[in-house]
Structure 1
Amino acid sequence: MFFSEKTLINGRPSSKVSFSDRGFQYGDGLFETIAVYKGKIPFYDFHLNRLKISCHRLKLSIPDLKSLDEEIKELCSEVSQGVLKIILTRGISEQRGYRIPHNEKPTRVLSIYPWPNYPIDFFKYGITLRICATTLGHNPMLSGIKHLNRLEQILARSEWNDPQIPEGVMLDSRGQVISGTMSNIFIFISDYLQTPDLNNCGVAGVMREFILQKASTLGIKTIVKPINLDDLKQAEEMFVCNSLIGLWPVRYLEEISSYPVSTKTRNIQNFIQMWIESYE
């Protein structure tokens, strides 16, 4: 696999960002973590759409898209399989404090990372999930987007070290199921594919959006609704997803429930792979 360690900061090769940058000072920014296959980005339109929504929510200037495309091509054109990370911050401010500066000059960072070495068994045979004690607080203004403040997920992921449990279920402060620490959750109940409502908290992942848009192609009906732990226990099938792992079937929820890896989940998993392999 070809891998370039190159990082572009505002379009120029560099590895340094000022400690005065508001992204470092306040987490004032957003990021996208993007899968690269054979120099291409199969889900780029989904990432770009979320990036624009996130910029609008944070009152952050959308980067020049022509420059962004050129930088992505420069970094990704020879990458057979890797991870592109885009970070946008509000940049360096001459003033202290939370107030947004009038002369905002955003910082744009693009970096390439190696592909994560997840066991193939997670993809083939499914995973075990645990339930996290750390909960997600409600903030509708920030729900859905990948802003730079990810402390809740960091604390949740620190709760266990078992390599055979790659993901945990995160609840909100009211006990509703929201997501995994790094993924979105889907369950099948009575032929409906259901995923948690993220109006109050959680990240609306790119793969989640892709599945919701494309499920009808497979004849699958979808519902976005509040989901609780009892729903997980009653589910016929369950899986987690994100833009890097694609789809991992869930076999066990701690010692509470077990699930088969059946045709419906496999069909979605195969559809994702076909999309990736056929993308031009």
Structure 2
Amino acid sequence: MTLDLLFLNGEALNQSNLEDQVIDFQDRAFHYGDGVFETLRIHCGEIPNWKFHQQRLLQAQAQLKLPIDNFLEYWPTFVKKHLSEIESGCAKLIISRGVSPRGYQIPGSTTINWWLKVSDLPEQSLSFKQTNKQLTVCQHQLSRQPAFAGLKHLNRLDQVMARSEWDNKEYFDDGIMCNLDGDVIECTMSNIFWLESNQVYTPDLNLEGVDGCVRRWLINHLSATSKPLRVIKSVKLQRLLSADAVFITNSLIGIQSVDNIAGHQISLSSTVKELADEFNQQYLF
């Protein structure tokens, strides 16, 4: 059975009549990208890693002054009512500041609009089974804005331009993105990590990039070990090419090894598989 559900502010929309259902022209998400989104995996009627999604939404509430308290309070009820029977799938949650008069100024009071699109998992995400990934290196550089760093805000033009650098005939799973200084930050759809002497490293995201939920899980998970994850402020591509292993993460693929970066073979490590197994076991995959 194909999953194809759409909700607006918690209410199911009629999929057979979507052409008559339009976004309000004055919605600030449409005008200014004024909002955030989350990509969610659904498993046995629940959202794995939800606490880290909520953590990032609360960060958005603080940094962007988004009024999402009522949404967060209602969310568990919504999941139980509408998602509890879904065995496996994914969803995109979009939260807009809502409708306001013309102009950039944040209105004194506003009601958010939120959409949830539920669909089948992409083919590459049907399981968290290890399938080594191949990466390209994007020429487009990430914009720098510390005020928005870590968030999944609605302006994704950097990722759009970076992803346009390769087509579907070229078999790359993702593309590495660097900042204005040429430092590796992330991939277009995932966070990136590397191993040196069994120590896990990842780029610093205080100036740009998305602080992914599996990344947050890894930092939390490794904090109690003898080798907590180390965040590096400046890392050039060559360091990844010579690393003991490289891997990427996001909420749909979990933790996946990388075996090729722009034609360079990358070593594999059992440590990555162990981390992936620990993540999968915690969320019952």
> 1:123, CA displacement in angstroms?
4.7
Which one of 224, 230, 251 corresponds to residue 238 of structure 2?
230
> 1:163, CA displacement in angstroms?
5.0
Determine if the alignment matches structure 1 residue 52 to structure 2 residue 58.
yes
> 1:186, CA displacement in angstroms?
0.3
1:150-161 to 2 correspondences below 5 Å: 150-161=156-167
Aligned residues: 275
Amino acid at match of 2:257: P
1:1-280 to 2 correspondences below 5 Å: 3=3, 5-14=4-13, 16=21, 17-64=23-70, 65-93=72-100, 95-118=101-124, 123-161=129-167, 162=169, 164-216=171-223, 220-226=227-233, 227-255=235-263, 257-277=264-284
- C-alpha RMSD of matched pairs (Å): 2.0
The 4+ residue runs of structure 1 with deviation greater than 6 A are 119-122
Q: Give the whole-Å Cα distance in 2 for the aligned partners of 1:75 and 1:151.
A: 32
Q: Give the whole-Å Cα distance in 2 for the aligned partners of 1:2 and 1:79.
A: 11
> 1:121, CA displacement in angstroms?
10
What is the TM-score when the length of structure 2 is the normalising length? 0.90
> 1:220, CA displacement in angstroms?
4.0
Q: Are the aligned partners of 1:2 and 1:80 in contact in 2 as well (CA < 8 Å)? A: no
> 1:38, CA displacement in angstroms?
1.0
> 1:34, CA displacement in angstroms?
0.8
Amino acid at match of 2:198: D
Q: Give the whole-Å Cα distance in 2 for the aligned partners of 1:121 and 1:249.
A: 14
Q: Secondary structure at the match of 1:42?
A: coil
Q: Are the aligned partners of 2:241 and 2:266 in contact in 1 as well (CA < 8 Å)? A: no
Amino acid at match of 1:38: C
Q: Secondary structure at the match of 2:249?
A: strand
What is the TM-score when the length of structure 1 is the normalising length? 0.92
> 1:18, CA displacement in angstroms?
1.2
Residue ranges of structure 1 left out of the alignment (5+ in a row)? none
Q: Are the aligned partners of 2:5 and 2:119 in contact in 1 as well (CA < 8 Å)? A: no
Amino acid at match of 2:103: G
Post-superposition Cα deviations, 1:42-67, rounded to whole Å, max 9, x if no partner, equal 21111111111112111110241231
Q: Give the whole-Å Cα distance in 1 for the aligned partners of 2:121 and 2:25.
A: 28
> 1:260, CA displacement in angstroms?
2.5
Q: Secondary structure at the match of 2:82?
A: helix
Identity %: 34
- CA distance 1:121–1:39, change in 2 (3 Å): closer
Q: Give the whole-Å Cα distance in 1 for the aligned partners of 2:129 and 2:257.
A: 7
- CA distance 1:252–1:213, change in 2 (3 Å): same
> 1:145, CA displacement in angstroms?
0.2
